[in-house]
Amino acid sequence: MKKVVPLGKARETSLYGSKAVGLGDAARLGLPVPPGVALSGDLVEAVASGDHKATEKVARAIFDLKGPFAVRSS
């Protein structure tokens, strides 16, 4: 499933990686976590292979953050 979800909804390590799920856990516990999104591995692969729809999906998610952002690998 090519997914992009808010960090607070990233719960499956197999889909989003341990760093994103860890940040999601922290956010759900009420710890200070900046707004962010998690990308599923297959979405990242689609972007890397040149899938324009996948790239647009990621671009929309970044635009919706409305501010500076950082990129972390998992």
- Return the pLDDT at 1: 80
Q: What pLDDT does residue 23 have?
A: 94
pLDDT tens sequence across 14-60? 999 999 999 999 999 999 998 899 999 999 999 999 999 999 999 99
Per-residue pLDDT, 71: 81
The pLDDT assigned to 8 comes to 93
Distance CA 3, CA 64 (A): 15
pLDDT of residue 69: 77
Run of H or E including 37: strand 37-39
Task: Sketch the domain layout of the chain as residue ranges.
Answer: 4-65
Write down the pTM of the prediction: 0.86
CA-based nearest residue to 7, from 54, 47, 64: 64
